[in-house]
């Protein structure tokens, strides 16, 4: 796991932690079943308060990325659980919207775009 905190960032520190962990889970850099460092350990390693890391983990849990298991700590959940799937879906839609917008720039027909899509599949 890689977390880099910036004090100049617009994002509050808890959000920086959350986003970076989320990104790495979605990109497969942190595998399912991985046990994350405890909130206290992470707080110490980053030199931030326990409340900050607690909030980051709570939000990751609420969004379905991790689950906390009593006595074991916070564990990265399976990537096919519905909440994470939702996040992937959002990403796919965004990428496709991007492609469609680009196609419109050169006035490509829907038909032609569909062909490209089929071919790539």
CB of 43: closest distance to another protein in angstroms? 7
The yes or no reply on residue 16 touching another protein (CB under 8 A) is: no
Residues 41-100 that bind another protein (CB under 8 A): 41, 43-44, 47-52, 55
The yes or no reply on residue 40 touching another protein (CB under 8 A) is: yes
Closer by beta carbon to another protein, 9 or else 81: 9
73 φ/ψ sector (left φ>0, alpha ψ -120 to 50, else beta) = left
Closer by beta carbon to another protein, 24 or else 52: 52
Dump the DSSP string for 82-115: HHHHHHHHHHHHHHHHHHHHHHHHTT--HHHHHH
Given 12, 35, 81, 117, the residue binding another protein (CB under 8 A)? 12
Tally Cβ neighbours within 10 Å of residue 82. 8
Closer by beta carbon to another protein, 9 or else 98: 9
The yes or no reply on residue 22 touching another protein (CB under 8 A) is: no
Note the residues at the interface with another protein (CB under 8 A). 12, 14, 40-41, 43-44, 47-52, 55
């Amino acid at each position: 796991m890689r977390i880099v905190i910036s004090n100049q960032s617009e994002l509050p520190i808890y959000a920086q932690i959350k986003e970076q962990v989320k990104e790495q889970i979605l990109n497969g850099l942190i595998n399912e079943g991985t046990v994350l460092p405890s909130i206290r350990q992470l707080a110490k390693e980053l030199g931030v308060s326990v409340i900050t890391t607690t909030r980051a983990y709570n939000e990751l849990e609420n969004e379905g990325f991790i689950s906390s298991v009593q006595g074991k700590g916070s564990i990265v959940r399976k990537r096919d659980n519905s909440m994470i799937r939702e996040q992937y879906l959002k990403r796919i839609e965004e990428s496709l919207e991007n492609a469609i917008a680009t196609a419109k720039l050169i006035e490509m027909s829907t038909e032609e775009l569909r062909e490209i899509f089929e071919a790539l599949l």
